[in-house]
Amino acid sequence: MRRLTAEKFSLFFFLLLLFVFSYSVLAAGKSIRRNKPCNRLVLHLHEIIRQGNYTFPNATSAAVTKRVPGLGSFQFGEMYVFDNLVTRDANPHSPQAARARGFYVYDGKDSGNDLYMITLSFNSTEYTGTLTILGTNNHSLKTRDLPVVGGTGDFFMARGVTTLEVDVIDFTTSYFRLKMDIKLYECY
Amino acid sequence: MRRLTAEKFSLFFFLLLLFVFSYSVLAAGKSIRRNKPCNRLVLHLHEIIRQGNYTFPNATSAAVTKRVPGLGSFQFGEMYVFDNLVTRDANPHSPQAARARGFYVYDGKDSGNDLYMITLSFNSTEYTGTLTILGTNNHSLKTRDLPVVGGTGDFFMARGVTTLEVDVIDFTTSYFRLKMDIKLYECY
Amino acid sequence: MRRLTAEKFSLFFFLLLLFVFSYSVLAAGKSIRRNKPCNRLVLHLHEIIRQGNYTFPNATSAAVTKRVPGLGSFQFGEMYVFDNLVTRDANPHSPQAARARGFYVYDGKDSGNDLYMITLSFNSTEYTGTLTILGTNNHSLKTRDLPVVGGTGDFFMARGVTTLEVDVIDFTTSYFRLKMDIKLYECY
């Protein structure tokens, strides 16, 4: 009977240890796995670019520097500032989910590329807070991954990756739409 | 007596397990709690803005791009570069605690907003190192949270949140003062 | 003999606990130590600066804003965009290891300083992915540490520190070379 007691203890401890061990492993190392984001948002960004001196009705972005001559044919040096509508649905007339503000600078000499600096501001029943996205945007790729480098509010201390994909480019209306697949791997 | 021994063991293990468990939980998940920063600095940033062609004596910031016509009345597209004094005390004549350098770009079409890119350089007996702050600055809010996305030196690998609040705006002297409440949640 | 059994159990548990404990401590807190990066890359960045209206052959960077008069003698306000070759070897004719794109803005009023925003794009047999580096670059220091704030691809969720050092400045050819010692402390 005493033996049994010891065995019971050992079983109890073994199970407890297993639990502690699993918990530590999961919690520690933050269990970051690419296919297991702790939060995910699929959003659509709508931009209407102001062209030259003529402002398209409802333009949401505009160049603030000029491209540099002699450094390729990909608008090198041109910087655009934007304040864009972001929606859950691809339809630009669907309700606003967030505001995307920031800038991009064309920085590709021999290929289309820009440095993309996006802040997302959420102020809805679903989310309140911001995300900061900053990375290089290679136009040659169908999908481009950009790091999410920080967040506030509901996205306090967030980090992750945003996959961008051009949905629509319409030169006649100076409009483009980006699909943003935001995967967060640090959530607090 | 043997039974007692087993019980003693079990008690010992139970306490040890509790300790290990608590430790793992605290250490893992990095124990990030909003009300428990691992470091906190309250600082005051002083900026004197150069206006047009006339330089205010001791101006510490200046526009490098022009606002874009047709995109609202909030200086959309205007980018300012700054090299500002940062002090512990609100008094602009108190000793320098750090230097704040970087830029901001007005990116609000229908409301006052800017993208704020601040680097803080510390070089004192208290701290040596840098912090990089990058986020969106919504002028409509009394306090604005911006992510701290990185650090070096004494702030090696730091991350956190900076709460900004406008202390003073004085148009006659082209001066404004910001209170920066920096809370770090990753400290190494 | 029963006593022995209990002792064996206790020894077994003690060892297991030690293992769990060590593992948790190592995994948790992410075991970040400055002298133990989880990845390290030493690279060389080559930049040829376009000067005024005259483009140096193969210029890889150019100013897009003008320095502001009255704010010191360190090119305050001048922003350069770049698309630079990055190599493993210091020799600018060695194979490309990555492309460095982004910009820097002179933001030092009383000393040479810039805000440095570098993205590195890797597309080789060794690495595929990007790194985002963002920090302040104090020209007075022989070596400058800048935070690595994010990454994608093989550098998924990376963070770390890049130590920059000017290798060569050649005004006659408008060329400079930087050594980048990239140490990552978060690798997934």
pLDDT mean by block of 10 residues, chain B; 188 residues: 61 65 49 93 97 81 96 97 98 96 98 98 96 98 98 98 97 95 97
Could you say which of A17, A119, A188 has the minimum Cβ distance to residue B136?
A119
Contact call for residues A68 and C64 (beta carbons, < 8 A): yes
Residues C81 and C113 in one domain: yes
Subunit contact C135:B153, Cβ cutoff 8 A: no
Residues B39 and B27 in one domain: no
- CB atoms closer than 10 angstroms to residue B79: 28
Residues C116 and C84 in one domain: yes
Structural domain of residue C15, as residue ranges?
A: 1-31
What is the least distance, in Å, from the CA of C15 to any CA of chain A?
12
> Between A and C, how many CB-CB pairs are < 8 A?
135
Residues A167 and A122 in one domain: yes
Tell me B6's DSSP state: H
Could you say which of A77, A107, A159 has the minimum Cβ distance to residue C102?
A107
Residues C25 and C39 in one domain: no
Model confidence pLDDT, tens digit, residues A115-127: 999 999 999 999 9
Contact call for residues A141 and A167 (beta carbons, < 8 A): no
Residues A50 and A124 in one domain: yes
The complex scores an ipTM of 0.86
pTM of the predicted protein model = 0.88
- Phi, psi of B95, rounded to the nearest 5 degrees: -65, 150
Residue with tokens 């807070």: A129
pLDDT band at C4 (very low <50, low <70, confident <90, very high): low
User: Residue C138 pairs with which residues in a beta bridge?
Assistant: C113
| Domain count within chain A | 2
Tell me the three state secondary structure of residue C1: coil
Residues A181 and A128 in one domain: yes
Subunit contact B64:C69, Cβ cutoff 8 A: no
Q: Could you tell me how many helices (H) and strands (E) chain A has, helices first?
A: 1, 9
Could you say which of C21, C136, C150 has the minimum Cβ distance to residue B101?
C136
Contacts of A164 in chain C (CB under 8 A): none
Residues B20 and B104 in one domain: no
The region, left, alpha or beta by phi > 0 then psi within -120 to 50, assigned to residue B87 is: beta
Residue with tokens 């503000």: A101
Subunit contact A101:B113, Cβ cutoff 8 A: yes
Contacts of B25 in chain A (CB under 8 A): 23, 27
Strands (E), A35-112: 39-48, 61-63, 79-87, 96-106
Residues B179 and B117 in one domain: yes
Q: Could you tell me the two tokens for C79? A: 């922003």
- CB atoms closer than 10 angstroms to residue A57: 8
Subunit contact C29:B30, Cβ cutoff 8 A: yes
The CATH number for B62's domain is 2.40.480.10
Q: How far is CA A177 from CA A40, A187, B76, in A?
A: 19, 28, 21
Subunit contact C106:B81, Cβ cutoff 8 A: yes
Residues A10 and A53 in one domain: no
Residues B43 and B110 in one domain: yes
Contacts of A6 in chain B (CB under 8 A): 6
The region, left, alpha or beta by phi > 0 then psi within -120 to 50, assigned to residue B116 is: beta
What is the least distance, in Å, from the CA of B40 to any CA of chain A?
15
Q: Which helix (H) or strand (E) holds B186?
A: strand B175-186
d(CA B177, CA B62): 16
Residues A101 and A142 in one domain: yes
Model confidence pLDDT, tens digit, residues C121-154: 999 999 999 999 999 999 999 999 999 999 999 9
Could you say which of C20, C70, C115 has the minimum Cβ distance to residue B59?
C70
Q: Could you tell me the two tokens for B129? A: 């190192």
pLDDT band at C20 (very low <50, low <70, confident <90, very high): low
